Amino acid sequence: MPLKQLTPANLSTQDLQDWCSVLNEMTSTDMPNEPRWQPERLRDYLAENMADEYRQAFIYRDESSGDMLGHANLLIFGGKHRDTGVLELFTRPSARGKGVGKALLQAVAECAKQRECENLAVEVIATTPAVGFYDQLGFRRDVVEQRHLLRWDEVDWDKVQEAAGRVAAGYRLEYYSESLPEELLEPYAQLKAYLRGSAEPIALTTDRRGSTDVDRLRDSLQTLRRRGMRSHVMVAISEPYEKVVGLTELVVSEQRPTRADQYDTVVAPEHKSYGLALTMKARLLTELRGAEPQLVDVQTWTAEDARDIKWVNSQLGFVHDVDWYEYETSVEDLLHNLAQ
């Protein structure tokens, strides 16, 4: 049997090495300028979840040689998003067109159905062959995100440091790495809840990401650490009331240590005219420069019409390089299309 399903924690050392090899071979072919994956703590990255989440791994090996030709993993959320699963699927370029991807997708869909998961979502880079693969199988392109990159060796640090120092009167910035003080968790979560309810275009496309409940936020930060991902957070405080009014987040993973991933950036609506978003992001970059000296770049994603955050990013030197598509389909429709 070439295809095997198992929990990520039960992947062997050889499985993990091969898993990394598939990722890097795909990256080398489809996105040669992207950083390569490292095997360090890969098991933690794949296996560690929040308490109410469920994850399964799927590997496909050549029956003759035993070589891993592709792999997939399925994450099913807990809480109000438990009807949705997120799929990641990768094959070696040499295995494309040979049924490996479809076999992995079939196994993922059947597992999702058994778990009473109704929908599957997947993110696809617009310039890769995966676009045609998911289009053919009936996935809907629900969201288009624009990725922007900030290349470390092109940063105008004088300009960034100047922006980092422009803190409006009545505010202060506080930097945290790895965790947040307990007293900040509730106001921090409340501010993220505003982001989820906002009708404005933002640097985020789905409220499945992040946590707007105190307990889930605490669990989320702990899970990041267990997965080998270091969080860096800048918080804006309104001093008269000691109220959290802005935040911006970055994460650096041990599996791809040369790249930082920008997460949420949000400012409470009544505080948006004071330049806090630019100041927070600039200050966080200056902190990151010392805390993560191995970095090569920072990536962030924005909605197509998110003009405000795009302007902030442009002031810091971020440049749009590629679009990402978020696809979704129902599990029943996918199983039907795979059977055709």
Does residue 190 sit within a domain?
yes
pLDDT of residue 202: 40
For every residue of 209-258, DSSP letters joined together read SS--SHHHHHHHHHHHHHTTEEEEEEEEEETTTTEEEEEEEEEEETTSTT
Choose among 150, 181, 193, 172: nearest CA to 279: 172
Decide if 170 is inside a domain: yes
CATH code of residue 177: 3.40.630.30
- What per-residue confidence (pLDDT) applies to 275? 95
Closest listed residue to residue 196, CA positions, set 117, 260, 261, 264: 264
pLDDT single digits (tens) 146-199: 999 999 999 999 999 999 999 999 999 999 998 899 999 898 888 887 665 554
Q: Which ranges of the chain does DSSP label H, i.e. alpha helix? A: 13-30, 42-47, 100-114, 130-136, 157-164, 182-197, 214-226, 276-291, 307-316, 331-338
One domain, residues 10 and 104: yes
- Residue 178 DSSP code: S
Q: What number is the average pLDDT over the span 54-81?
A: 94
- 206: number of Cβ within 10 Å: 17
Whether residue 151 lies inside any domain: the answer is no
Which tokens in the block code for residue 235? 């918080």
Instruction: Tell me the mean pLDDT in the region 49-78.
Output: 95
> Cα angle at 223 between 220 and 225, to 5 degrees?
115
Q: Give a yes or no: residue 274 inside a domain.
A: yes
Q: 77: how many CB neighbours lie within 10 A of its CB? A: 19
| Number of separate domains in the chain | 2
Q: Are residues 139 and 200 in the same domain?
A: no
- 210 and 133 belong to one structural domain: no
Average pLDDT over residues 305-330: 94
280 within a domain of the structure (yes/no): yes
The mean pLDDT of the chain is 92
The pLDDT of residue 197 is: 55
Range of the domain at 49: 3-145+326-338
> What pLDDT score was predicted for residue 306?
87
pLDDT single digits (tens) 234-282: 999 999 889 999 999 999 999 999 999 999 899 999 999 999 999 999 9
Are residues 104 and 218 both part of a single domain?
no
Domain membership flag for residue 150: no
- Are 171 and 303 found together in one domain? yes
End-to-end CA distance of the chain: 22
Residues 103 and 168 in one domain: no
pLDDT digits (tens, 9 = 90+) for 73-130: 999 988 777 889 999 999 999 999 999 999 999 999 999 999 999 999 999 999 999 9
Helix H or strand E segment including 96: none
